[in-house]
Chains A and B, each alone.
Chain A
Amino acid sequence: MKKILLACGTGICTSTAVNAKLQRILDEKGLKGQYQITQCKIAEVPMKSADFDLCIATTQVSGDVKCPFIMGVAFLTGMGLNPIIEKILTVFETK
């Protein structure tokens, strides 16, 4: 089970839009049931990230992120999304 933290300014707006798209893509890749997604405010990322395998955000983090971090704006625009999906899939390959 991979734990993914999704963050945006408020933890409810753009991160929710990313959440829907990310779930659809992961399920299409046959990863249904192998991940768990939590949304939060960007300010909570430094504190929360230690418990996660991956953090995807639509805004910059100030402070340390204690897990791999990916900028997720491409989930909104579709521009440059494929390399980002590849990066996310590598997280599932590691134990």
Chain B
Amino acid sequence: MCEEERNFCSGMDIKPEYMMLNIKASTDIEAIKILAENFFEAGVVKDTFVPAILQREKDFCTGLQFEEAGIAIPHTDAIHVNYPAVAIGKLETPVVFKSMGMPDTLVEVGIIFMLAIKEPHKQIEFLQLLMTKFQEKDILRRLMKCNTAEELTANFLASLV
């Protein structure tokens, strides 16, 4: 990634190796675990990240219903993170997540955006950018259609512009 793109993404590392397609999971926790373990194997996060992000989802669920799709944005504290990055996981079949702030409301999630946050003040800008972009037409729809990790990475980077 060139320097300009790095700045633009608030320092977030976005690479095909963090992307996972066709995740087979039957619960929200199972899906997060698969994506988080891949993040750990890639060296982005520490071994404590996996239990921490699972516990965090139980305490503060992160499902969000956008107009075009249901998504989830699991995240946890910076102490579990080596360097800032985003992992995207597409589920083979949607999994039910609890909605952020409204655990009684369920969201069918087909795509997960896992955030490894290292310096909160910088990377929160990135979260704001994501939330704004996901409200725009066709952005989530396009990401949902990607079939390879490279395609997903390229489309995600393009959608942030």
* Residue-wise interface mask of A (75-95) relative to B, using a CB-CB cutoff of 8 A (1 in contact, 0 not): 011110000000000000000
Can you sample 28 A-B contacts with CB below 8 Å? A8-B60, A9-B56, A9-B59, A9-B60, A10-B120, A12-B120, A12-B121, A13-B75, A13-B117, A13-B120, A13-B124, A16-B127, A17-B124, A17-B128, A17-B131, A21-B128, A42-B60, A59-B100, A60-B101, A60-B102, A72-B101, A73-B102, A77-B67, A77-B131, A77-B134, A77-B135, A79-B66, A79-B67
Q: Name B67's closest neighbour in chain A (CB-CB).
A: A79
Which residues of A lie under 8 Å from residue B124 when comparing CB positions? 12-13, 16-17
Indicate the size class of the contact surface on chain B: 20 to 34
Give the shortest distance, in Å, between B144 (CB) and chain A (any CB). Answer: 16
Give the shortest distance, in Å, between A28 (CB) and chain B (any CB). Answer: 15
CB pair B101 A71 closer than 8 Å? yes
Q: Which residues of B contact A (CB under 8 A)?
A: 56, 59-60, 64-67, 75, 77, 99-103, 117, 120-121, 124, 127-128, 131, 134-135
Q: Name B120's closest neighbour in chain A (CB-CB).
A: A12
Within 8 A of B (CB), among A45-88: 57-60, 71-73, 76-79
**A1 located at the interface, meaning its Cβ lies under 8 Å from any Cβ of chain B in the complex:** no
| 6 nearest A-B residue pairs (beta carbon) | A9-B60, A78-B135, A16-B124, A17-B128, A73-B101, A12-B120
Q: Is the interface of B mostly helix, strand, loop or mixed?
A: mixed
Most buried by B among A13, A57, A58, A79: A13
CB pair A77 B65 closer than 8 Å? yes
Which residues of A lie under 8 Å from residue B101 when comparing CB positions? 57-60, 71-73
Indicate the size class of the contact surface on chain A: 20 to 34
Complex: how many Å from CA A93 to CA B100?
29
Which residues of B lie under 8 Å from residue A20 when comparing CB positions? 128
Which residues of A lie under 8 Å from residue B66 when comparing CB positions? 77-79
Complex: how many Å from CA A14 to CA B65?
15
Which residues of A lie under 8 Å from residue B65 when comparing CB positions? 77, 79
Within 8 A of B (CB), among A4-25: 8-10, 12-14, 16-17, 20-21
Which residues of B lie under 8 Å from residue A8 when comparing CB positions? 60
